[in-house]
Amino acid sequence: MEVKTVGLASDHAGYALKQFVKKFLNEKGYPYKDYGTFTEDSCDYSDFGHALAEGMEKGEVYPGIAICGSGQGISMTLNKHPMIRAGVAWCEEIAQLIRQHNDANVLVMPGRFISEDTARQIMEAFFTVPFEGGRHQRRIDKIPLRKE
């Protein structure tokens, strides 16, 4: 995957893991832009998911990493944006599949359910496993809703 600047987003439940993600990105030499949240104070994942998606749509960042408690809410928010393919990964194998089969451009992790070691494995897979194309591209092409 070609990395421009990694976009980051989280809610309060994902804030602590996002701090670890920043350390990982620094180790790898990947620049990043954080769209929030910036504290562990209670907040709404949708605010930050939309901000990340809009940053990707404007070309400010690519790819993205988002984190909320379960990973589900922020993923649902991100996937409302037509060019976003956000996949929730809670283990390395799922991270491999969301890249190989779905060409995910946003990695979503469940901040309340994985360790930093698991997050590291997931991110390694996300950044290194290529999209397979072929039959998977045909399926991806059918994701956007078509207005008639």
Which one, of 141, 137, 89, 130, lies nearest residue 110 by Cα? 89
The answer to whether 109 and 17 are in contact (CB under 8 A) is yes
CA distance 57 to 28: 24
The answer to whether the peptide bond before residue 110 is cis (omega within 30 degrees of 0) is no
Residue 101 falls in the annotated catalytic set: yes
Which one, of 69, 70, 87, lies nearest residue 78 by Cα? 87
Residue 91 falls in the annotated catalytic set: no
Q: In 1-148, which ranges are E strands? A: 6-10, 32-34, 64-68, 86-88, 106-110
Q: Among the options 12, 43, 81, 101, which is catalytic? A: 101
Q: Among the options 68, 81, 91, 136, which is catalytic? A: 68
Q: What positions carry a catalytic annotation?
A: 68, 101
